[in-house]
Structure 1
């Protein structure tokens, strides 16, 4: 059981309008969204996943190489949720059962193509349900859950999950698989330096003048500052806890085509302006 982190009252906190009082995680939303969590993260475990899917987790733990783990995960998802085998490259399943429904693969492709798409609405709704972080932007600013903008977001989310097969559970397992692989890729590390282009205002700053940014409940970051320019002309450098990374483009090789893109849970973050020089600036 991780040590319960509680936000310190002398530090800025994420506004209540960005948080839900309940979630399906071992830590409350106010902790996940806090500056303290960014500095000292603890494992995030979704309710029921470890108990209900112990067979998958044990199988992954026994595999030493990433390729067999990936194949085991894909095959498990295909069989467990009756997904179309032809949606998974190089599948060994002999009898695919096509179901023209949204699944975790299609949601990933939709997100990396456009985070404001219907698939993006499903992703953001899943983050609300599991982590208690409210959506603050989807095609337009969302001031709160009682706003018309939030109603429009929810309508799109509902259309996205209609007639699907345990879609939220598929995303639960994808996040869990992502966390398993990050621990293997970065043993002993707790953070990854990522970059995000920004066009909005900063949330404020600390007493040492370090700027703060309140990110949407799910946002795209990049491992490459050049690619971060796609999201805004001001590049922010962020130390992101590995536990707040939901997925990344190379997690499923051959399936996703992002550019070193990472899907990151939102909340309040210490950020820093990127001090490097981009190729565009070099040619000015």
Structure 2
């Protein structure tokens, strides 16, 4: 009885299914992160096979970017209406134009614990079954004020409309396509992992096995997290720096994937979290 009750109020134990066909507890585990398999969000490529057929004919990443942005602009009505069109719309229709993959990523870059960050964490929760463990405050046992705030923000109509989850489904699949085709900084396709770093301050509560002082340990990261391409960049974000092997199948955005300013950090990689074996050092 006590064990069952204990599991009910631990949100990370809620999910058993997702849209990628890998059990959530496996997907979140350090074992999966060490030995990953490719992931695909069910129905996304099948529903937009025209886009991916075009991408296969692209000559380089720049051409693929143009195809991707143009396709989403048409599919989700992301072109901003001109003044005459706006005058013919009601207030609720005008607000719809604010919900786009680019604006949410820019919002994440400004504050991962803001409204945009909540919607993105909600997307990762919905598609991969990964429950967040932090949003403004630790998301521990449910219910709690921190959980109520997160649930309100992730469903806020300010960002959570215009099929925003479907937009990020396509972004994830586009990123996976680009990585498989070797478009990360013009490199050859990585085998299974990207060698990345993450700076962090509140570290003790993240450690679930081992000790920071022994360098090798296992940490539990949020369901969606930012990494850096270098230890020097990561050290700007915390006193401790984690050296991590991140599966390419968990990457949502990498530098150069998208045109224009997207994330604040030029060397920032956005990827799914979970339990990671890391090498830790004090910056």
TM-score bracket for the superposition, by shorter chain length: 0.7 to 0.9
Give the unaligned 5+ runs of structure 2: 1-9, 82-92, 183-187
Cα deviation, residue 190, structure 1: 0.8
Partner of 1:60 in structure 2? 55
Question: What is the total number of aligned residue pairs between the two structures?
Answer: 251
Q: Distance in 1 between matches of 2:149 and 2:159?
A: 16
Partner of 1:44 in structure 2? 39
Cα deviation, residue 183, structure 1: 1.4
Partner of 1:83 in structure 2? 78
Q: Distance in 2 between matches of 1:59 and 1:173?
A: 14
CA spacing shift, 1:175–1:153, aligned 2, 3 Å:
same
Higher relative contact order (CA 8 A, sep 6+): 2
Q: Distance in 2 between matches of 1:188 and 1:240?
A: 11
Q: Distance in 2 between matches of 1:230 and 1:116?
A: 18
Cα deviation, residue 115, structure 1: 0.5
Q: Distance in 2 between matches of 1:151 and 1:28?
A: 26
Q: Distance in 2 between matches of 1:117 and 1:248?
A: 21
Q: Structure 2 length normalisation: TM-score?
A: 0.82
Q: Distance in 1 between matches of 2:226 and 2:111?
A: 10
Partner of 1:231 in structure 2? 237
Q: Give the RMSD, CA atoms, in angstroms.
A: 2.4
CA spacing shift, 1:188–1:115, aligned 2, 3 Å:
closer
Q: How does 1:130-169 map to 2 (within 5 A)?
A: 130-160=127-157, 164-169=161-166
Cα deviation, residue 136, structure 1: 0.6
Q: Distance in 2 between matches of 1:170 and 1:266?
A: 20
Higher mean alpha-carbon deviation, 136-145 vs 161-170, is at 161-170
CA spacing shift, 1:222–1:43, aligned 2, 3 Å:
same
Q: Distance in 1 between matches of 2:215 and 2:268?
A: 29
